[in-house]
């Protein structure tokens, strides 16, 4: 089902989920589209449309059941399906992403990190070991993990990318600010942090 949803809908559902998770922790049982709308500064009609699109029904004056809506979003977006990944590069960004608690809640499990720096190899980040990048091929073959989160500096990104492909990585989530060239069989998702900020500026007219 999720592939039928637009990227923007997926993005909004993920944000609704963050609220539902908080409400669930606070043991609040119901939530209205108006509450979601106000918290996220998203049009209420849009909120209702999104929730309707995943077949969740609210009750008049009561709103949606927090646990039901949370469960439906989990199912629709496959949060319960664990996706394991390697982080390539144990610099500040690689370490920050490895510590990012939200990932595991959404089904993304970072298995370990890889770096070429001997001073970093052998250390652990929140229980995840930093391995020598030379061991990557072996780890891919042993674990079957084929998702890599690339956080190396721009200068070496393409070189490291070529190495990842050679090691059997099939999906690369690229945080390096450069466009990577890969064979057709490998898919790259260029994370675009600055694009996100530019959108913010555009929406809010920040100049």
Least distance to its own copies from the beta carbon of 202, Å?
4
Closer to its own copies by Cβ: residue 59 or 124: 124
Closer to its own copies by Cβ: residue 93 or 167: 93
Give the tokens for residue 27: 């043991």
Closer to its own copies by Cβ: residue 8 or 52: 8
Give the tokens for residue 55: 């077949």
Region class of 27: left (phi > 0), else alpha (psi between -120 and 50), else beta: left
Residues 85 and 145: beta-carbon distance below 8 Å: yes
Give dist(CA 191, CA 151) in Å, integer: 10
Least distance to its own copies from the beta carbon of 31, Å?
12
Give the tokens for residue 166: 């050679």
Closer to its own copies by Cβ: residue 5 or 56: 5
Least distance to its own copies from the beta carbon of 131, Å?
19
Least distance to its own copies from the beta carbon of 187, Å?
5
The residues of the shown chain that bind its own copies, judged by CB under 8 A, are 2-3, 5, 7-8, 10-11, 14-15, 18-19, 22, 39-41, 77-78, 81, 83, 91-93, 95-97, 99-103, 106, 108, 147, 154, 171, 173, 177-179, 181, 187-207
Give dist(CA 72, CA 181) in Å, integer: 37
Closer to its own copies by Cβ: residue 85 or 133: 85
Closer to its own copies by Cβ: residue 105 or 166: 105
Least distance to its own copies from the beta carbon of 7, Å?
5
Give dist(CA 193, CA 207) in Å, integer: 18
How many CB atoms within 10 Å of residue 52?
A: 12
Residues 78 and 2: beta-carbon distance below 8 Å: yes
Give the tokens for residue 42: 């998203």
Paired strand residues for 113: 87, 130
Least distance to its own copies from the beta carbon of 60, Å?
25
What is the distance, to the nearest Å, from the Cα of residue 148 to the centroid of all Cα atoms in its chain?
A: 12
């Amino acid at each position: 089902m999720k592939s039928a949803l637009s990227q923007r809908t997926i993005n909004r559902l993920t944000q609704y989920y963050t609220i539902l998770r908080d409400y669930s922790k606070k043991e609040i049982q119901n939530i209205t589209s108006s509450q979601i709308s106000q918290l996220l500064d998203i049009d209420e009609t849009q909120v209702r449309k999104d929730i309707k699109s995943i077949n969740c029904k609210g009750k008049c004056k009561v709103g949606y059941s927090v646990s039901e809506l949370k469960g439906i979003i989990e199912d629709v977006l496959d949060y319960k399906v664990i996706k394991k990944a390697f982080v390539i590069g144990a610099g500040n960004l690689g370490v920050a992403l490895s510590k990012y608690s939200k990932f595991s809640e959404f089904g993304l499990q970072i298995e370990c990190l890889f770096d070429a720096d001997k001073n970093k190899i052998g250390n652990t980040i929140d229980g995840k070991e930093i391995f020598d990048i030379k061991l990557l091929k072996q780890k891919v073959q042993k674990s079957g993990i084929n998702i890599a989160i690339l956080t190396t500096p721009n200068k070496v990104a393409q070189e490291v990318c070529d190495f990842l492909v050679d090691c059997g990585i099939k999906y690369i989530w690229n945080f390096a600010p450069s466009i990577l060239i890969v064979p057709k069989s490998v898919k790259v998702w260029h994370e675009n942090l600055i694009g996100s900020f530019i959108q913010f500026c555009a929406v809010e007219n920040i100049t």
